[in-house]
Chain A
């Protein structure tokens, strides 16, 4: 099962895809919320790395409209004045909040894998 990274910043998507690949996992990408929702509908992802501030439906809207119970990792620069943070926090699918900027991308990827793949199933 693939991972999905949803972020409007191409370098973040590319680096995450490469980091997953480096660890032996495939990661799909979407550059906005609308694209992400379409891809989620078509595919079953192991987990979704979701940015919040994006054009064409933001992360909050994605969470609202997404029917599947796929685990979600929020990757965002929380500013503290997000009005939707309360909803995001109450969504049981959201497993972790990852602050941007990342300290080390591999730590992030490892965290996502650890939380979503049982120890025995790891590559």
Chain B
């Protein structure tokens, strides 16, 4: 048999090859023993029984066949082919499976990833939901709080306290503040530091970037990180600000917290500010109204008082309260449609200023009544003083003019009375007594003139300790004629006072003479004069009072009111000067004493002289 060998190089033989057909001698075949592929060995019959060959065949997949047995070989090759095909198929399926598995694994992985994500997002949304709920709850709480809080003085403080409590959960706060412009255009800062509300008045520009620096200079201390928000929808520029310690982490939370509330907060703060301003404005107006010096009111067209700075019942009429009348005053500025001057009630003169305004289609009048009574009094007092000073000058001049002839008369009488003038014969007794009367009269005239000059020169009277009764007795001598038809009762003791006895005598003379005349006037003589004393402790100290009571015509109220005015007289023209009581009071005042009169018409008068008690 021909031997042929298909010889691949041993190095070319690879394991992957399905089968090799190896034909050769044993020694050659030995080289391939370790190759795992199926090998076909075509052996010659002479070696087919070789033990070694069989050994080889048994240890590996050698197929041994005879060289001439082609049928078998083709069968074998076929089987190898089939097997190899099978193997390939298996291999393919295996790889397919492998692929599919890998794909599956990948898909699986993907799936788990996806689900993980889903779970995560689910969890996240749950947290968000809770967070949102929490936020909403907190917001609602805030709304509840701000709605229920009364907008009073401590409104801002309680709002601050509320926000403080909320923000404490988010961050570390140092201060909550509110900067706003007040009515007077001043910038005011209200702030809360966790313990109490404080206020500073300072101009801080919150639209600038250096707020912290500005606040440092206001408070005089280092200021931390400032966050500020302008309050929207507020009548004037206002800012809410926080001084925070660790702003970095919580900034967003704080921002969103404030952002959610700032609109509502603004609204309420605006209301608070407006109410506060209204309060201030109303207060200011009320005070202004009250501070008008005269009576001031607002009345409607029917004179019903709408507002006033004086006490009154509701719905009263101005003429009733102010003028005590039952109908409007004829000189009312509203009726006259001009500012008027008039006597609104007895003893009270007013000057009016009025203006009209419309409110809800009704006319109202604003009227000020300036009390000019005192002004008028002062005016008449000035005129009176002027009058008196002219009179004084005139009197002074007159007194001097009179003094000259009086001196002549007196001196002449003195010379005539002197025996030496009529050396040869003495004057007849009757002439002498007449001359003496003239002399006495001139002396009295001189005294009167002297008093008048002293009075007009307002000299301080020299005071001396005298008994009232003593001066009275001296005076009564001068009034003998006037007193003749009346009864006189005197009850005086321990009546020493410090006076100028001459002035007192003048006063008593005036007073008793007046009384006598008053009693003469009613014609029911004899009248009675009682003179008695009383000791009284008054505010100004212990006083001794001397009363002179008469049963004369007395004074009516109108006269009594002006009784100490100069030129006031009840006597017929020419009978009295109207200076008696005026001068008496003046003289007494100069002696630190006073004069009072109590009287009513036809019921007599009680005149009281008041002196310091010694």
Q: Identify the A interface with B (CB < 8 A).
A: 7-16, 18-19, 21-23, 53, 77, 79-80, 100-102, 104-106
User: Contact between B407 and A22 (Cβ–Cβ < 8 Å)?
Assistant: no
B420 touches A23 (CB 8 A): yes
Contacts of B408 in A (CB 8 A): 9-15
Interface residues of B (CB under 8 A from A): 396, 400, 403-412, 414-416, 418, 420-421, 446, 453, 457
**A77–B418 contact, CB under 8 A?**
no
Q: Are B396 and A79 in contact (CB under 8 A)?
A: yes
A15 touches B412 (CB 8 A): yes
Chain B min CB distance to A14 (Å): 6
Say whether B405 contacts A22, CB under 8 Å: no
Contact B414 A104 (CB under 8 A): yes
| Bound form: Cα–Cα A100–B411 in Å | 10
- Cβ B406 vs Cβ A101 within 8 A: yes
Decide: A11 and B409 in contact? CB cutoff 8 A: yes
Residues A102 and B407 in contact, CB atoms below 8 Å apart: yes
The reply to whether B403 and A15 contact each other, CB–CB distance below 8 Å, is no
| Residues from chain A with Cβ under 8 Å of B404 in the complex | 7-9, 12, 77, 100
CB neighbours (8 Å) of A21 from chain B are: 421
B552 to chain A, nearest CB (A): 37
Q: Given contacts A18-B416, A101-B407, could you give 11 more A-B pairs where the C-beta distance is less than 8 Å?
A: A7-B404, A12-B407, A12-B411, A22-B415, A77-B404, A80-B457, A101-B410, A101-B446, A102-B407, A102-B410, A104-B414
Output the least CB separation between B417 and chain A (Å). 10
What chain A residues lie within 8 Å of B410 (beta carbons)? Answer: 101-102, 105
The answer for the CA separation of A11 and B410 in the assembled complex, in Å, is 9
Contact residues in B for A10 (Cβ distance below 8 Å): 408
The reply to whether B446 and A15 form a contact with Cβ atoms under 8 Å apart is no
27 contacts between A and B (CB under 8 A): A7-B404, A8-B404, A9-B404, A10-B408, A11-B407, A12-B404, A12-B407, A13-B408, A14-B408, A14-B412, A15-B408, A15-B414, A18-B412, A18-B421, A19-B415, A22-B420, A22-B421, A23-B420, A53-B400, A77-B400, A77-B403, A77-B404, A80-B457, A102-B411, A105-B411, A106-B414, A106-B418
Complex contacts, B411 vs chain A, CB 8 Å: 11-12, 15-16, 19, 102, 105
Q: Known contacts A15-B412, A79-B400, A102-B411: does B406 contact A22 (CB below 8 Å)?
A: no
B435 → chain A closest CB, angstroms = 13
Question: A11 with B420: in contact, given A100-B403, A100-B407 (CB under 8 Å)?
Answer: no
Task: Give the residue of B400, B403, B414, B453 whose beta carbon is less than 8 angstroms from that of A105.
Answer: B414
Q: A100-B403, A101-B406, A101-B410 are in contact. Are A15 and B396 (CB under 8 A)?
A: no
Bound-state CA distance A16–B453 (Å) is 26
Residues of B within 8 A of A12 (CB): 404, 407-408, 411
